[in-house]
């Protein structure tokens, strides 16, 4: 089966040449889809959603036929001849947004719903699509507007000193706003994690059990494991989910000084991966852990967070454990082979990204949203300082900036290039 969807002011005129007569609004009707000479291209169900009560807010006609490449090609050729054109990726959603049927967060949630990699992620995207995230943003905007009205009214009558009562009121109001924003940021971070996941790179000396750990976490034999040091040379990637948290695990070549040119290339790639990780699992074998991690990957001030994993405790008889050193470095003692302590590692990974498996309530969020929320937070902080110093004009300006950053999330104020960027990543027909 195939669905062809027409949207726009000419949808009715075009469709009326193809299906005769056009069905009553929102009622499915069986129709022939006619060629220019009255021949039948295909037959099936036709639906008509008049503007503005359609997905895009425009007249929409939907043709549901048998499909098949030849029939679709003929149907499209007929529609193009009548003046229709192929939609751009995401154009239906973009039109829905431009016509005020959905806001930008909801439009993004459509793409996230389609792309979601787990049930949890799809549930979160659905919540965003239903407007839960947008409502939270809008509530903050409403509070901000109320506060701005108070403060800007005070500015207009600046000869009269503000009563201390209203000053205290404004301070309380601003404090509450800041708290609510931080709550929302925390939830948005979770939503973003759920959507994007984290990149965890397994690194360490040869033969310590890196590939064995990858296989264990992925629950399948994706990497070759052998007792010959230098087994893995290429970078291997696997996607797993920990209670819905997507994790991109990367297994790398064991790091050592090598004369083998291919192994050296593998090690170069390993170092590059390590620098791109959200977290590094640096593995060594129990009793042999004095290898210096930094000397292998090179000095870099911007190295991602490291968890030390000490494998093969079955050989030393040590108990599985998760220990935090005085420097804050976490060491996890485990045995991949005996499947001891893997659960400690998994818990640790979830914990260090601050992921709480959602009982409910999570919505999907993107980096773009997090950045805008961070800007809002910064502006509210500056506003608090301005309020303390009775710098009312500065206060008013920071509150304006905070509101603007929030409005960018739902798309009330957005640059055209941002819209282009967002919608072009959609698939065609959505």
Q: Is residue 211 involved in binding Mg ion (CB under 5 A)?
A: yes
> CA–CA separation, 243 vs 306, rounded Å?
22
Contacts for 180 with CB less than 8 Å, ≥ 6 apart: 139, 140, 143
Burial-class residue 352 by CB neighbours within 10 Å (0-12, 13-18, 19+): middle
Closest CB 219 distance from ligand GTP, rounded Å = 15
- Site residues for ligand GTP, window 251-280 (CB under 6 A)? 253-254
Q: Is residue 310 involved in binding ligand GTP (CB under 6 A)?
A: no
Whether the link from the prior residue into 21 is cis, omega within 30° of 0, is yes
Q: Is residue 230 involved in binding ligand GTP (CB under 6 A)?
A: yes
> CA–CA separation, 316 vs 318, rounded Å?
6
Two tokens, residue 93: 């959603």
**Residue 123, binding choice from ligand GTP, Mg ion, none, Cβ under 5 to 8 Å by partner class:** none
> CA–CA separation, 370 vs 192, rounded Å?
8
Q: Is residue 232 involved in binding Mg ion (CB under 5 A)?
A: yes
Q: Is residue 225 involved in binding ligand GTP (CB under 6 A)?
A: yes
How many residues of this chain interact with Mg ion, rule: CB under 5 A?
Answer: 4
How many residues of this chain interact with ligand GTP, rule: CB under 6 A?
Answer: 23
Q: Is residue 350 involved in binding ligand GTP (CB under 6 A)?
A: no
Q: Is residue 341 involved in binding ligand GTP (CB under 6 A)?
A: no
- What's the full length of the chain, in residues? 430
Cβ(386)–Cβ(400) under 8 Å?
A: no
Q: Is residue 226 involved in binding ligand GTP (CB under 6 A)?
A: yes
Two tokens, residue 424: 């072009």
Two tokens, residue 287: 């009793």
Q: Is residue 94 involved in binding Mg ion (CB under 5 A)?
A: no
Contacts for 282 with CB less than 8 Å, ≥ 6 apart: 203, 204, 293, 306, 307, 308, 309
> CA–CA separation, 93 vs 129, rounded Å?
12
Nearer to ligand GTP, 170 or 211 (CB): 211
Question: Contact region for ligand GTP (CB under 6 A) — 39-47, 111-119, 193-201, 203-211?
Answer: 203-211
Residue with tokens 């005996």: 338
Closest CB 135 distance from ligand GTP, rounded Å = 48
**Residue 209, binding choice from ligand GTP, Mg ion, none, Cβ under 5 to 8 Å by partner class:** ligand GTP
**Residue 23, binding choice from Mg ion, ligand GTP, none, Cβ under 5 to 8 Å by partner class:** none
Nearer to ligand GTP, 126 or 269 (CB): 269
> CA–CA separation, 34 vs 19, rounded Å?
6
Q: Is residue 345 involved in binding ligand GTP (CB under 6 A)?
A: no
Q: Which residue ranges make up the site for ligand GTP (CB under 6 A)?
A: 206-212, 225-227, 229-232, 253-254, 311-312, 314-315, 335-337
């Amino acid at each position: 089966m195939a669905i062809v969807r027409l949207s726009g002011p000419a949808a009715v005129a075009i469709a009326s040449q193809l299906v005769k007569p056009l069905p009553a609004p929102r009622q499915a009707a069986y129709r022939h889809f006619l060629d220019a000479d009255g021949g039948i291209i295909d037959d099936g169900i036709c639906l008509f959603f008049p503007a503005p009560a359609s997905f895009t807010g425009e007249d929409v006609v939907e043709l549901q036929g048998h499909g098949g490449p030849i029939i679709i090609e003929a149907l499209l050729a007929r529609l193009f001849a009548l003046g229709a054109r192929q939609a751009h990726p995401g154009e239906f959603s973009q039109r829905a947004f431009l016509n005020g049927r959905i806001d930008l967060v909801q439009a993004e949630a459509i793409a996230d719903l389609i792309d979601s990699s787990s049930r949890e992620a799809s549930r979160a995207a659905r919540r965003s699509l239903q407007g839960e995230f947008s409502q939270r943003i809008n509530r903050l905007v409403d509070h901000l507007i109320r506060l701005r009205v108070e403060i800007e009214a005070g500015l207009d009558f600046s000869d009269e000193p503000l009563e201390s009562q209203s000053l205290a009121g404004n301070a309380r109001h601003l404090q509450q706003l800041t708290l609510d924003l931080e709550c929302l940021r925390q939830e948005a971070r979770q939503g973003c994690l759920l959507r994007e996941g984290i990149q965890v790179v397994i690194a360490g000396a040869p033969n310590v059990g890196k590939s064995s750990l990858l296989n264990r976490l992925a629950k399948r034999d994706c990497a070759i494991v052998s007792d010959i040091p230098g087994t893995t040379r290429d970078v291997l990637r696997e996607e797993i989910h920990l209670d819905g948290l997507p994790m991109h695990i990367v297994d790398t070549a064991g790091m050592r000084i090598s004369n083998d040119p291919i192994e050296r290339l593998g090690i170069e790639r390993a170092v590059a991966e390590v620098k791109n990780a959200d977290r590094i699992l640096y593995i060594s074998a129990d009793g042999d852990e004095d290898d210096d991690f930094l000397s292998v990957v090179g000095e870099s001030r911007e190295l991602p967070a490291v968890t030390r994993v000490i494998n093969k405790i079955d050989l030393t008889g040590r108990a599985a454990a998760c220990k935090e050193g005085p420097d804050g470095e976490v060491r996890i003692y485990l045995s991949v082979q005996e499947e001891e302590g893997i659960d400690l590692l998994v818990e640790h990974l979830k914990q260090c990204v601050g992921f709480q498996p959602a009982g409910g309530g999570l919505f999907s969020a993107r980096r773009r949203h997090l950045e805008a929320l961070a800007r809002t937070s910064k502006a509210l902080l500056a506003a608090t300082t301005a309020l303390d110093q009775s710098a009312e004009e500065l206060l008013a300006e920071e509150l304006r900036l905070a509101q603007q950053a929030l409005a960018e999330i739902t798309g009330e104020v957005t640059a055209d290039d941002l819209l282009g960027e967002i919608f072009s990543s959609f698939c065609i027909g959505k």
